[in-house]
Amino acid sequence: MTGQRLTRLAAGLVPVAVFLLAWEAAARFSLIPGRLFFPSFTEVMVSFYRLLADGILLPHFFRSLVRVLIGFTLGSAAGLLVGFAMGWSRIAHRSLHPILSLLYPIPALGWLPILMLWLGIGEVLPIAIIFICSFFPVLYNTVTGVRGVDPQLIRAARSLGAGGRKLFTTVVLPLALPNIFTGFRLEAGMAWRVIIAAEMVAIPTGIGALLMRSESLLRLDIIIVCLMVLAVMCFTFERVFIVLERKFTGSWRGAPEHPPYV
């Protein structure tokens, strides 16, 4: 490992180590009032181990993970399809933009009460919330990416004989990918935040449900464990899409001025 990589690694790890040491010291020496409500880092890690050993944490975690993966995949796929249509077709954009612009500002959790009445309390409910949460950011970033392709590149490709499908797959899609991956990154972490909130309110299983049950028992150590799991999963999902973006986009960058309508 080169010196530069070691420096970057240290720059990332040292602040975390200092934070954990300060946390441990503050709890051990009662620097913060209310010892019961401020467990040390080591106590939290002990609780984390016990939750794993007792088979409590993993079932809740996998319930949340499956819900996020299904809802995120379906919502992103729908956002991509509608986004491509709106970005590529003037008619589709004019037809769909008004209604989607009205629905977009509504927070995903704002749909929870009405979805509870429509769908009931079950597995479909959190998946539907994640679907809504994922759909709109992917949709709008896809539209922005497709419409932002330089029209001169479109005309150049057509002059070289590129047809509709070939033009889209070889010119428009690669140039739109950076914006599309921005939508993925935005929702990769947001999906976890939304599912936790939905489970806290309406679902009896999952990390959010475990978090609320721990609150009723005054188990702050378990609450912190749940929050740490949430933080790790948000970070992991976002990093996955950063790596995928670097792999698939390379040096592609659009130069948006006018939308490439057909």
Using 70 as the pLDDT threshold, list the residues of the chain that sit under it: 1-3, 33-36, 161-164, 250-262
Residue 254: the pLDDT is 42
12 is written with which tokens?
Answer: 């990332």
Residue 54: the pLDDT is 95
Q: Tens of pLDDT along 73-103?
A: 999 999 999 999 999 889 999 999 999 999 9
Q: What is the model's pTM?
A: 0.86
Residue 51: the pLDDT is 96
Q: Tens of pLDDT along 8-51?
A: 777 778 888 899 999 999 888 877 765 567 899 999 999 999 99
